[in-house]
Amino acid sequence: MNIVQGTATRRKAPTGSRHTGDRASASRAAMSLADQLSRLGIAVVKGVRAFAIVFLVLPLVVAAHQALLPTVAFELLPKNGFTLRWFGVLFREEFLSAVGVSLFIAAVATTISLAGGTLAALALARSSFRGHEFVNMILLSPMMIPPVVKGLSFTLYFAIIGLRPGLASLLLAHIVITLPYVIRVVYPCFYGLDRALEEASRNLGATNFQTFWRITFPLIRPGVFAGAIFSFIMSIDDVGVSIFLITPDTTNVSVLLLTWANSVADNTLAAVSVTLVAVTLIASTVVERWVGFDSILGGIRR
C-alpha cells in the first residue's frame, strides 16, 4: 500500500516543477546535474555488481576449462582437442580412501553435533537464566577461533590426555568444529514455533518426550536439515584443524588436496575441483528446494 502511494507521488514530482516558472530553471539545471551524478553513481554500482559476479565465478570456469586441457599451458581451443584423462584421478585408490575418511568423519560428526546442538538450541531458546548469554557465547566460541589455533591446541591437548592421532581424535575435533554451526542454524527455528501446539499435545496427555518427537521436531525439521548440511560441509571443508591430526591412514580429502596443490604440477587438481564444484551445485540445489537459503543465512552470520 505504502509503496504504491510512493511511486504515485514520485511520478507527479517532475510535472509539478514544470509550473514553477523561470526561477526553477536554475534549480532544474542543478537538479539535472544531481540526476546525472545519481545516474553515474548507479552505473558505477551496477558495474561493481557485475564485476563482483564475474570475479566470483570466472576463476571456477577457468579451472573447469583447465581440467579439460591436455597440458597446463592455456589454450582456448586446444589443437589436439579437449581430454578427460585428468579425471582418472577420481578412481585412484589414494583419492577414494581420502574421500571415504572425509565422508565418514563428516557423517558421524554431523550426527553427533546435530543431536547435541539441537538439544542445546532448544534449551537456549526456551530458558532464561543468569549467565544465559555467557553459555551462548561459550557454545559458539569455537567458530570465532582460527582453525590453526584449534588444530595445534587439539594436538597438544590430545597428546596430554593420551588420545593418539587417528580417527577418534579427528572425529572429536570435527564435532567441536561443527557443533556451533548446528546451534546457530537450529536456534532461530524455535522462535518461529507456535507453542500452543506443544501445549495442546501435553494437555492431550503426551509426555515431554512424545511432544518433542511428534510435535516440536517435525516443525523444526527444515532448520535441522539446514544445520545438517551446514555441519557436513564445514567438516569436509576443514583443512587447518585436520592437517594437525591426520595420520597416513586417516588422510582426508582436504589434506590430500593441499599436498597435491603444493606438489603436483598438472591438471589433476583442476579435475578434482570441477568434480567438487559439481557436487556443491547439487547440494545447493537440494538445499534450495527443501529449505531455502534463508535458514542458511542464519548460520553464516556470526
Partner 1 sequence: MIRAAWHSRFSYGVLLLPALLITVGVFLCSLAPTFAFSFYTFVPPASMQPTFTLHNYAAFTHPVYLGYIVVTARISVISTVVAMILGYPLAYAIARAKSARTRRALLFVVTTMFFVHTIVRAYAWVAVLGRNGPLSTLLEAMGVGPLRLLSNEFAVTVGTIHWLLPFAIMTLIGPIQSVDPALEDASRNLGATELKTFTSVTLPLTFPGIAAASLVSLTLGFGMFVTPMILGGGLVTMLAKFIYEETVFSNNYPLGSAATVILLALATTVSVVVSRFFEARTKVR
Q: 48 to 77, contacts with partner 1 by CB under 8 A?
A: 48-49, 51-53, 55-60, 62-63, 66, 71-74
Q: Which of 168, 280, 286, 290 binds partner 1 (CB under 8 A)?
A: 280
Contact mark string toward partner 1, 105..134, x via CB under 8 A: ----------xxx-xx-xxx-xx-x-----
* Closest CB 21 distance from partner 1, rounded Å: 18
Instruction: Report how far residue 270's alpha carbon sits from residue 228's, in angstroms, rounded to the nearest whole number.
Output: 28
Q: Which of 90, 96, 283, 286 binds partner 1 (CB under 8 A)?
A: 283
Grid cell in block for residue 113: 553435533
Q: Which of 176, 193, 206, 219 binds partner 1 (CB under 8 A)?
A: 176
Q: Which of residues 250-279 bind partner 1 (CB under 8 A)?
A: 253-254, 257-258, 261-262, 269-270, 272-273, 276-277
Nearer to partner 1 by Cβ, of 90 and 115: the residue is 115
Instruction: Report how far residue 153's alpha carbon sits from residue 158's, in angstroms, rounded to the nearest whole number.
Output: 8
* Closest CB 22 distance from partner 1, rounded Å: 19
**Which range of residues in 82-90, 198-206, 213-221, 237-245 is near partner 1 by CB under 8 A?**
237-245
Does 147 participate in binding partner 1 (rule CB under 8 A)?
A: yes
Cα angle 289, 291, 293; round to 5: 90
Within a 10 A sphere around the Cβ of 249, how many other Cβ atoms? 10
Instruction: Report how far residue 268's alpha carbon sits from residue 67's, in angstroms, rounded to the nearest whole number.
Output: 7
The residue type of 38 is: S
**Closest Cα partner for 246 from 234, 257, 231, 233?**
257
Nearer to partner 1 by Cβ, of 200 and 279: the residue is 279
Nearer to partner 1 by Cβ, of 205 and 301: the residue is 301
Within a 10 A sphere around the Cβ of 200, how many other Cβ atoms? 13
Sign of CA dihedral 140, 144, 147, 149: negative
Does 242 participate in binding partner 1 (rule CB under 8 A)?
A: no
* Closest CB 218 distance from partner 1, rounded Å: 19
Which residues neighbour 52 within 8 Å (Cβ) at sequence distance 6 or greater?
none
Contact mark string toward partner 1, 195..234, x via CB under 8 A: -------------x------------------------x-
Element (H, E) at 218: helix 217-237
- Cβ contact 235:105 at 8 Å: yes
Does 137 participate in binding partner 1 (rule CB under 8 A)?
A: yes
Between the CA atoms of 38, 41, 42 and 47, what dihedral angle is there, to the nearest 10 degrees?
Answer: 160
Size of the site for partner 1 (CB under 8 A): 105
